Structure 1
């Protein structure tokens, strides 16, 4: 199990702006890895999609915003993923556990 610091920090902050900036940074830094392995891109996006819903935000709107600043090579994938309605932790290998510090995202794969 690996702690997912980004989505954990965003969920605890309650700040959708932190979601968009954090996710955009990941896409800019990991572009080559995500192009090489699109599954890794989906595993990265899924907790942020889930987090957006928990914050009461519409994932498609946030992902559209992120896609606008993302590398051109990833924009369509990010927009498309934001429109999905089947993103559940068990399907994407992550979980949200309650800790003394608040909710925490962990990767199970």
Structure 2
């Protein structure tokens, strides 16, 4: 039963993200909203991780900065920017089919899926 509840929570939380973004960008600039969201969540995760693990090394910070720039700034930044112009359901659908695009692009380069 716990697994079903956890699965339902993931569906509700992740599924409502795009609708929440749509409502949030009606009152806040998109990149300010996204930046505040990730600053708060990143701070909470960092403090939680520091309770059990040592401080990240310089190499860890460099890798995290690269991932943050690519995933959060470009990926999610693109989503919040796009949601000003397209419905939240379409934004969710485009993000959900991204793995299919990757498989198709790799396949088009000659590597079988």
TM-score, length-scaled by structure 2: 0.27
* Bigger strand fraction: 1
As a proportion of its length, which structure holds more helix? 2
TM-score (norm. length: structure 1): 0.28
